[in-house]
Structures are given as C-alpha cells and as structure tokens.
Structure 1
Amino acid sequence: MPDQPPPASHPHPLATVPCHDPYVLPVADGATGAEYPAPEGTGVLAWWSPDLLTWGSPRLVFTVPRDSWADPAAAPWAPEVHEWDGRYVLATTLHHPGDTLPPVRQRGTRLTLSHADHDRYTFAPSRRGTVLAVADDPSGPFELLDPTASHTPRDFMALDGTLTRDEHGRPWLVYAHERVQIINGTIEAVPLEEELRPAGEPVHLFRASEDSWFARPGAVVPSTQALAPYVTDGPQLMRLPGGGLGMLWASYRTEPGFESGEYVETQAISRSGSLLGPWEQSEVLVAGNAGHGMLFRRRRSSNDATNDDDAPDTLVLHRGMNTPRVRAEIYAVTLTPSGVELGERLA
C-alpha cells in the first residue's frame, strides 16, 4: 500500500513521517506541542520538531487558490520556506496538467533520441512552475505574490525552485527545467527584483548530461520512462569557505538493481563564487536511491541562535525514491572549499 500520513497525534517519530523533498527551517519557537485538525484542501503541510527526531501534527500553511493559474486539485511539490527581509517566503511547484506545452528544442545539446527511444518514452509536457508566496509567520497562511503566473517562465515545464542571493546580493530563483520537455534536463536561474517579481530572462547554468557518473561501467540503461541520465532535481545553493559557491542537486544514474535508475544526491561547484559559474560537477555525495537534499544549521539549545554567519552543518534528504516508503534521513556535514563532505548519519 502507498504511504499514508500517520494519525493526527503528537509526537510522530521521524521514521513514521512520509517525506518527499524535505526542507528544514530552523526557528526560535516551533509549535511542536500543538494539535491541529486534519487538513482540508490541496496544499502544503508544515511539521514542527524540537529535536528533528519527533514531529508534531502537520499544519496546512498554504492552499492552492481556486482562482490561480494552477489546478487546485494537483498537489504542490518541493515546498521550502525562507526567512527573507523580515518575512517568510514559500517556494513551491504547482501544476496545470490540462494545459499542454510544446517540447523545446534545447540549444547546444548533443543528446538525441533514436526511433526506438521515441517509441519507448512518452513526452507530454504540461504547465508546471515554481511560485512564491509570502507570510508574516512560518506557520502561514502563505499568499501567492502572483496568482496569475508562476515565477518560472510560463512556457517552461519547471520545478523545484529555490531562492538565493548572488555574490552581489541580487535575488534569484534557481530551478530545474524538466527533461520531460527538453530531454536533457537543466538547472537555470531567473533574476528577481527585491520585491521578488521576475526581472529578466532565465539564465542557463548547466545540463544533467554534464555529470561524469551517470553510467557505471557495464551498466545497462534501464528501459523505463525515467530516462535516468537526464534528470535535474532539487537545486540548493551554499556559500563555501574561500568564497566558492556550491549547489546540491539530484539525478539518476544507471545501476544494476534499480529498475528506474538509482536516484542520487550530487553537487556542483562554482569556484569563481558566481551564480553564473562556470559550474564543475563533483562525484555522487549520497547514493542508494536518496536525494533532493538541503543544508541547514542545527539548533543545539535555545541560546544557539541561527544567523547568516553560521555555516550549515546538517543535510536532510529523502531515501526510497520510486518505492512505497519514502522517508527523511539526516546527516552531519562539513563545508570545504571543494564542497560538502558527508559525516555521520544523525537520524
């Protein structure tokens, strides 16, 4: 049977909480002991924890508006909340499956599909994009900045957008462009105004095919619709010691034993420190059907306040991609000039 959320009672051990695309926001006071009624509607749930090991009842913090461009019956993907200039900003991916999009001929790519590939894979791009919503409190309710459009380009099938500031302090929305539309998935970025409205055309950062590890020697590319080597998921940015810029992202690689390909967490490095790169691809960080991670700094006590000068020391991601049981895992990490180094598993 597919995962079902646990009953609405407190506390829930981490291992019982179904979790795709986790995102942790450290806050001074979480409503960990509160009991919330069962959520209604389609939207984003927030869970609260004092220790990352036990979690309070989920609370509905955002509902897809019925008068927005998105289908209110289609569940949001990859929500994350950023503390931003005194407010909180939710970035999440919405969908309109009935609004079909044309395929995009990707400039500069050398990847093509054979006739057999075209027969095996189904490409039916539809409208999908990341939106931004704001609230005065992380418990919501969050309201869309623009109910009429996504922050990613309307004609792009885009997902997993994340907020960041570049080396000059300018805000950007970094996102993944779906391989369903362009075959060779990409990571791209849209410049934003300070008010978080789109302020220009998207900029290409890199392609999924630029990694060096997607096929192990002797591995056979799985004949499934995953089209494993060309996926880009879950970009997350972090400033590295020495001034470089790192990016976590997830993809698939061909590996025996994984019918749809093995989901992995990897990273890319911009040694110049510029969001625009050039980006160098690193080796796989976490394997075994795990990925879509993000970094944060753990609170060790009520006096351990998180601030912009504190380097992230914790990685959360999910394991169990394409299985009935998907759960969060938490690791200690260290940031180095060459990227993230993985430490012990914490949960």
Structure 2
Amino acid sequence: MRLPDMPLHDPFIVADEKTRAYYLYTSNAPSVSGVDGTGTMVYRSHDLRDWTRPVVVFLAAEQRGIWATDGGWAPEVHERGGTYYLFTTLHNQDKPLPVPPPNQWGTPFQIPNYMRGTTTAVSDSLLGPFTVLDPSRPAPPEHLMTLDGTLYVDPSGQPWMVYAHEWLQTIDGTMEAIRLTSDLSRTIGDPILLFKASDAPWISEQIPGGVPNQLPPYITDGPQLYRTPDGTLLMLWSTYEKNLIGPDGTITGGYVQTYAVSTSGDITGPWQQHRPLVRDDSGHGMLFHTFDGQLMMVLHRPFDNARGKLYEMQFLGQELRVLRRRADLDGGG
C-alpha cells in the first residue's frame, strides 16, 4: 500500500531502530483493517513509501469495564523502560458533563458536553495487543472534556501528559499539562494551563468584524512536544483559521499546522506562538527522524477523508521550517 491509498487521521510514526521499520499508527478503519470496532491500527514500512496492510493493535470493546467505546482518535505509541504505551482519545455520549455557563463572547449556541479524554494502554510490543491501565476513566481529570493527549518527559525525568482542553467546554480552547506517575498509570496534582488558542496573534487577524456568527470558538488540537538539538522546547499544534461557526456548532474554515516555542525551555512556558507551517486544510502533525537522520513531519490532509503527507524539516535557531514536500512518498495532492 502507499499513502494515497491509506485512510489515516492524526498520524503518528515510530521509527524503530530494532526492526529498521516505521510504524504508522492511526484510528482503526474497518474498511482496510478488516476488523470492526473503535480502536487503533498500525501500518509498517521500511522506506516510507511502501506500507503493509494495517494490523489492529487495540480495540476498546476488548477492554473489560472500559469507561467509553467511541472515538479511538489520535493514537500515539511511546516506549518507556522497555514497555510501549498507547495514548488514544475515547469518549462516551452517555456520560454527560455540565454545560458551561454563557461565555464572554455570547456565542449563539450551546453544545452538550460529555466525557472525552485520553486513555493509556500498555503492551510489550509495538504490534500490541494493548491493554488499558485504568478502564474506569480517562487519564486527564474526567470532568474536563479533553483530547489528543501526548507524552512529554522533562529533563528531570518527570513524565507529563499534555492535552487539548476542548473548545466545546471552554470556547477558547487551551493546551494543558498534568504530571504522571512514573508508570504513566495515574495523574499527579492539578493541570497547568500552557496557553490558549487565541494567544496565537495571527488567528485574530483572520476573524473580520460584522460577519454573522463570525465569533469564536478558538480550537486547540494535536499537541506534540519536541526538544531541539540546542535544547529549545517546541510544541506542534493545530487549529482553524478563518473560523465560521453555524448555530449547530459546525465549524468551517482552514485547518492548519502551527507551532509554539517555550521561551524558558520548560513545559510551563511562557509559550511564544509562531505562524503556521502548513495550511491547505492540513494538521495534527508530528516530528520524527528517518534512519538516515533527516527530520521529517507527517500530518494529514484534508481534514475529511484524510491521507498522510510528509515533509522534510529543519531548524534555524529556534525557528522550525519546511524544507520540501515529499510528494514522491505521499503521492502529491
């Protein structure tokens, strides 16, 4: 298989030195995996061009007593101490959360809130099967509607989960971080606010006045932390520009891949926002290195019926830049 033929949303690649193979994780798509159900599947490749048919590595329905069975979004796999940890976002519409009070912008809609958050599962193999650590609740505080949790380990060795706090609950979506126990099974303390989506100054440039329903929300999606060679701490994240929201809460506009840099080098920031790296309804990217040392970014485009797109990247000081698009690998488009 090649990337144009592979349905994938929120792609995450593990470059495994042991097998010299790239493992590309995404939400289970029964049409290509042949397995029904909410979960995670993985494609494999040795050259980023030709990929195996996907294997299902996690199914929510197989987790006894799990709190949710829908979603399966934004899977990531991280190795820690010889164990592989899967982070994936699940939700349950039958577990409602309180609807937030009217907000400062007076938005003309109220959308029901329900439990949504990142669940952590473990395996001794990149090919699973993965078993949830705590089937009773998501890892972030369960009264928060969150998604897209990712792992960050600070210089002291302290693990954190960084996640997006949904605009559905906050209107101005946020990025937040919470400490994890060393085995990633539980959270410690309260979340820390990192930044709001509206902190990106170029977002407000895209919202003209006098347009009906041309109001927030401001969206936060897809955080991924990366420590650069000079020690700079960078976060990839995605949002929408030129938001237009209807009375039913449907968002139209361009999904974009952007990033922020912690000026202190610490997870707590402050975070300086940079302009988008890629537009064209693209986003939820992550950085990885090829086996020959090239820094790459994978993301999905378009938002609906998404496919994977690959870019060679480089750092110039604290600035992340796109070197070139690898249409030879991802098929163009």
Q: TM-score, normalised by structure 2?
A: 0.86
Q: Structure 1 residue 156 and structure 2 residue 144: aligned? A: yes
The two structures, once aligned, show a CA RMSD in angstroms of: 2.6
Unaligned runs of 5+ in 1: 1-11, 301-309
Unaligned runs of 5+ in 2: 24-31, 245-250
- Could you say which residue in structure 1 is the equivalent of 2:67? 70
Q: Confirm or deny: 8 A CA contact 2:286 2:299 kept in the other structure.
A: yes
* Shift, 1:272, TM fit: 1.2
Q: Which amino acid aligns with 1:313?
A: L
- Could you say which residue in structure 2 is the equivalent of 1:303? none
The change in CA–CA distance for 1:218 and 1:62 in structure 2 (over 3 A counts) is closer
- Could you say which residue in structure 1 is the equivalent of 2:202? 213
Q: Give a deviation string over 1:180-219, Cα, whole Å, max 9, x none.
A: 0111100001101111121221111100110111144674
What are the equivalent positions in structure 2 for 1:138-153 lying under 5 Å apart? 138-153=126-141
Q: 1:83 aligns with which of 55, 79, 84?
A: 79
| Local SS of the residue matching 1:147 | coil
The change in CA–CA distance for 1:84 and 1:220 in structure 2 (over 3 A counts) is farther
Q: Which amino acid aligns with 2:124?
A: D
Q: Confirm or deny: 8 A CA contact 1:176 1:235 kept in the other structure.
A: yes
* Shift, 1:154, TM fit: 0.6
Q: 1:333 aligns with which of 313, 324, 329?
A: 313
- Could you say which residue in structure 1 is the equivalent of 2:221? 233
Q: TM-score, normalised by structure 1?
A: 0.82
- Could you say which residue in structure 1 is the equivalent of 2:165? 177
Q: 1:316 aligns with which of 290, 295, 298?
A: 298
Q: Structure 1 residue 285 and structure 2 residue 281: aligned? A: no
Q: Which amino acid aligns with 1:44?
A: T
Q: Confirm or deny: 8 A CA contact 1:172 1:189 kept in the other structure.
A: yes
C-alpha separation in 2, matches of 1:280 and 1:124: 32
Q: Structure 1 residue 135 and structure 2 residue 123: aligned? A: yes
Q: Give a deviation string over 1:247-300, Cα, whole Å, max 9, x none.
A: 0000011179xx701111111111211000111111111111101000000124
| Local SS of the residue matching 2:178 | strand
C-alpha separation in 2, matches of 1:102 and 1:255: 25
* Shift, 1:338, TM fit: 1.6
Q: Give a deviation string over 1:164-184, Cα, whole Å, max 9, x none.
A: 111322100000000001111
- Could you say which residue in structure 1 is the equivalent of 2:5? 16
Tell me which protein shows more strand as a share of its residues. 2
Single out whichever of 125-134 and 36-45 deviates more from structure 2: 36-45
* Shift, 1:66, TM fit: 5.2
C-alpha separation in 2, matches of 1:172 and 1:343: 30
Q: Which amino acid aligns with 1:13?
A: R
The change in CA–CA distance for 1:63 and 1:241 in structure 2 (over 3 A counts) is same
C-alpha separation in 2, matches of 1:218 and 1:129: 29
C-alpha separation in 2, matches of 1:63 and 1:90: 12
Q: 1:261 aligns with which of 229, 253, 264?
A: 253
- Could you say which residue in structure 2 is the equivalent of 1:297? 289
Q: Structure 1 residue 250 and structure 2 residue 238: aligned? A: yes
Q: Confirm or deny: 8 A CA contact 1:208 1:231 kept in the other structure.
A: yes
Aligned length: 310
Q: Which amino acid aligns with 1:207?
A: K
Q: Confirm or deny: 8 A CA contact 1:241 1:336 kept in the other structure.
A: no
The change in CA–CA distance for 1:276 and 1:342 in structure 2 (over 3 A counts) is same
C-alpha separation in 2, matches of 1:140 and 1:105: 42
The change in CA–CA distance for 1:174 and 1:80 in structure 2 (over 3 A counts) is same
Q: Give a deviation string over 1:101-156, Cα, whole Å, max 9, x none.
A: 114569xxxx7232xx32xx342111001011110000000011111111111100
